[in-house]
Amino acid sequence: MVKKPVLPLRELFRSPLTRMTLLSILISSIPMVGAWAASKWMIPWADKVAGSADVGYKAATQGYWALGAVSGKLRRRAICQLVGTPHQLFSHQPRSTALTMAMFQLTAPLKASFHPIVFLQGFVATLFFAGWHSACRSSSPPGCAPPAPAWLTTPAVSPRPSE
Amino acid sequence: MVAGLLFATMGGDYATVGALCALIYGLGMIAIWWAPDTSRKTLDD
């Protein structure tokens, strides 16, 4: 068996791959920063507000977020079939933004709505890391990617009937 | 370092800093339009 030569990593930063590599780094870092930001500020915030009243509140907050994250991971295949592969990354951005904003602006630690929103934020924000490509492919017949949603493939203007 | 600076600039308000950090997803909404759709491609060796 002939072993293929391993290309050095620097090949990724040479033309014609440079643009794609940098774009990939940018796109993949955004959900990481977003999820990090939520968990980075959510926990000390919960501790600051609720720490003196309930010492376990910070841990419960982290637990709700983790539970949401795990639930999202487990439901990825069903979500993949609902959303479709091509634009799931785009459609997740406003959802994640809205839920993170809601968590920080519309509710607060010790309010009844805080932990449910923390759960939902964990569910949505970590769906970016759900391994969409493999999940969507494995829910389709071998070698066949799932069909794109109808609104993506149907032309906005119907073709003229042949004369 | 940036996180600490942001936190200090916002006067130690966790809610504001967290909401500001959520805006990073807006950048993703823009950047994703330049990404090619590879969902129907297989990985080449």
ipTM of this predicted structure:
0.77
Q: Indicate the pLDDT class of residue A144, thresholds 50, 70 and 90.
A: very low
- Give A43-61 pLDDT, tens digit per residue: 999 999 998 888 899 999 9
Give A112→chain B minimum CA distance, Å: 17
Residue A126 forms part of a structural domain: yes
Residue A21 forms part of a structural domain: no
Residue A114 forms part of a structural domain: yes
Residue A47 forms part of a structural domain: no
Contacts of A89 in chain B (CB under 8 A): 28, 32, 35
Parent domain of A120: 60-154
Residue B20: other Cβ atoms inside 10 A: 17
Residue A55 forms part of a structural domain: no
Residues contacting residue A106 through CB under 8 Å, at least 6 positions apart:
A113, A117
**Cβ contact A30–B34 (<8 Å):** no
Q: Looking at residue A31, what is its pLDDT?
A: 82
Residue A75 forms part of a structural domain: yes
- Give A111-138 pLDDT, tens digit per residue: 999 999 999 999 888 877 766 656 666 5
Q: How far apart are CA B17 and CA A38, in angstroms?
A: 10
Contact A115, A42 (CB under 8 A): no
Give A31→chain B minimum CA distance, Å: 7
Mutate which: B39, B40, B42, vs A, most A CBs within 10 A: B39
Q: Looking at residue A57, what is its pLDDT?
A: 93
B18, B27, B32: residue with CB nearest A100: B18
Higher pLDDT, B38 or A151: B38
B22, B29, B45: residue with CB nearest A100: B22
Contact B22, A128 (CB under 8 A): no
Residue A76 forms part of a structural domain: yes
Contact B44, A59 (CB under 8 A): no
- Give A94-106 pLDDT, tens digit per residue: 888 899 999 999 9
Q: Indicate the pLDDT class of residue A6, thresholds 50, 70 and 90.
A: confident
Quick check: A145 pLDDT over 50? Answer: no
Give the total number of structural domains in chain A: 1
Residue A160: other Cβ atoms inside 10 A: 6
